[in-house]
């Protein structure tokens, strides 16, 4: 709103109340009720908080495990065997480390799918970040039957929708069938029914590799999104579907995704490292009516949780494979990475302060270590 100006940002009750030109120059001060909390002897730029829309937070424990392997080998030979050894204590520690990393690089909210959700909830509470957490299901997803899902989420949260703590922190929930190749038709239907019954979103991996598409064509006679459509899941859930990756899409699939206003999460660093692909059809999806967001994926495949780095990679990939430097400018990629939030009155007080001198500097010349402070719901959650 006042780009290029020195401003005073007033926060109250978890919201930005005012943004006004400041009479003070030369430094940055953070105060509460007139009392200084932090002083930086250099100017900082304020940006809306970043939203990491696809992660597996506890996988900070597996960083570097199975590097340089294709997705199916990486999952079957390295990750899934290691996950069998996880305990609540390990999941808590891995999640807490992830939360701290995200806060230290300007992320104020993340969307996650994993296991042992109660341990993750505790880590999120202890860190001060915002999160949507989805228990992950495989096979027939038996836990979605006979009220077991409600029991599972109630055990995590005390309710099935959201927690509001005294510090105004929010934790939300989803249901997360892993993918169409690890969850059966019965399991996918059960998860979709549970989402509809509990008014929760579905979080799922979709169209991540060409192998996934080829296998679906062989087994079901159609492509992955067409398979979900045949099962009635797109009509049942519509815009309440959050789909990670969405790399290998046909024109018909793009139309299905757009017609149902589904959220697609682009995870460029993970896709590049696993060799899954790079031609994410961002502009086509947006034009069709889909919502496009960004994510890091887990630390074992990205291998970090730096959303500032993700912004640069995503923007440069679009320019590169399209041969057009004008597409996806810095302003657009920041809007995508923040879910459209801005530094303006009435917006959530989820922001970060950076040594980046401009938006261009943030997107094209910075990393997470440029972040000096992160504020979530009006509370300081990280300071350098």
Q: What range does the domain containing 216 cover? A: 49-341
> How large is the angle between the packed helices 148-157 and 117-127, nearest 10 degrees?
30
pLDDT of residue 165: 36
pTM for the structure as a whole? 0.92
Residue pair 288/315 in contact (Cβ under 8 Å)? The answer is no
* d(C-alpha 308, C-alpha 219), whole Å: 39
- C-alpha distances in Å from residue 121, one per residue of 57, 112, 274, 358: 11, 11, 29, 35
Q: What are the helix (H) ranges across the chain?
A: 71-73, 80-83, 88-104, 117-127, 148-157, 185-198, 210-220, 224-230, 233-237, 251-259, 268-273, 282-288, 299-302, 307-322, 330-337, 359-365
pLDDT of residue 166: 33
pLDDT of residue 167: 39
Tens digit of each residue's pLDDT, the chain (384 residues): 356 677 788 888 888 988 888 766 655 656 555 555 566 667 889 999 999 999 999 999 999 999 999 888 988 999 999 999 999 999 999 999 999 999 999 999 999 999 898 899 999 999 999 999 999 999 987 766 645 565 665 555 444 444 333 334 588 889 999 999 999 999 999 999 989 988 889 999 999 999 999 999 999 999 999 999 999 999 999 999 999 999 999 999 999 999 999 999 999 999 999 999 999 999 999 999 999 999 999 999 999 999 999 999 999 999 999 999 999 999 999 999 999 998 899 988 999 999 999 999 999 999 999 999 999 999 999 998
36 domain-assigned: no
pLDDT of residue 161: 44
pLDDT of residue 21: 81
123 domain-assigned: yes
271 domain-assigned: yes
147 domain-assigned: yes
104 domain-assigned: yes
- For tokens 């929760």, the residue is 200
7 domain-assigned: no
128 domain-assigned: yes
250 domain-assigned: yes
Give the three-state DSSP class for 45: strand
pLDDT of residue 8: 81
pLDDT of residue 47: 96
Count: domains in the chain: 1
Q: DSSP secondary-structure letter at 49? A: P
CATH code of the domain containing 246? 3.20.20.140
């Amino acid at each position: 709103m006042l780009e290029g100006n020195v401003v005073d940002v007033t926060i109250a009750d978890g919201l930005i109340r005012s943004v006004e030109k400041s009479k003070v120059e030369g430094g940055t001060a953070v105060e509460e009720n007139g009392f200084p909390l932090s002083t930086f002897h250099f100017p900082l730029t304020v940006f809306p908080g970043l939203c990491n829309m696809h992660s597996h937070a506890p996988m900070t424990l597996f960083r570097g495990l199975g590097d340089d392997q294709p997705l199916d080998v990486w999952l079957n030979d390295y990750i899934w065997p290691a996950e069998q050894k996880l305990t609540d204590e390990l999941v808590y520690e891995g999640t807490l480390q992830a939360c701290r990393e995200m806060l230290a690089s300007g992320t104020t909210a993340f969307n996650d799918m994993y296991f042992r959700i109660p341990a993750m909830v505790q880590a999120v509470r202890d860190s001060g970040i915002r999160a949507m957490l989805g228990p992950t299901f495989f096979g027939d997803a038996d836990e979605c039957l006979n009220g077991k899902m409600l029991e599972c989420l109630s055990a995590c949260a005390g309710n099935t929708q959201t927690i509001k703590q005294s510090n105004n922190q929010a934790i939300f929930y989803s249901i997360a069938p892993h993918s169409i190749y690890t969850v059966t038709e019965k399991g996918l239907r059960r998860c979709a029914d549970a989402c509809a019954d509990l008014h929760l979103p579905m979080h799922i991996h979709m169209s991540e590799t060409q192998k996934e598409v080829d296998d679906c064509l062989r087994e079901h006679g159609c492509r992955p999104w067409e398979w979900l459509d045949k099962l009635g899941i797109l009509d049942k859930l519509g815009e309440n579907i959050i789909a990670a990756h969405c790399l290998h899409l046909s024109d018909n699939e793009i139309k299905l995704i757009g017609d149902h206003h589904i959220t697609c999460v682009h995870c460029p660093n993970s896709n590049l490292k696993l060799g899954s692909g790079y031609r994410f059809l961002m502009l086509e999806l947006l034009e069709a009516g889909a919502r496009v967001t960004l994510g890091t994926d887990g630390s074992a495949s990205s291998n970090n949780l730096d959303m500032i780095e993700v912004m640069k990679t995503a923007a440069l990939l679009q320019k590169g494979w399209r041969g057009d430097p004008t597409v996806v400018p810095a302003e657009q990629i920041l809007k995508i990475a923040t879910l459209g939030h801005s530094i303006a009155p009435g917006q959530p007080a989820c922001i970060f302060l950076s040594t980046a001198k401009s938006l261009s500097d943030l997107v094209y010349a910075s990393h997470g270590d440029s972040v000096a402070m992160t504020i979530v719901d009006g509370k300081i959650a990280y300071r350098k």
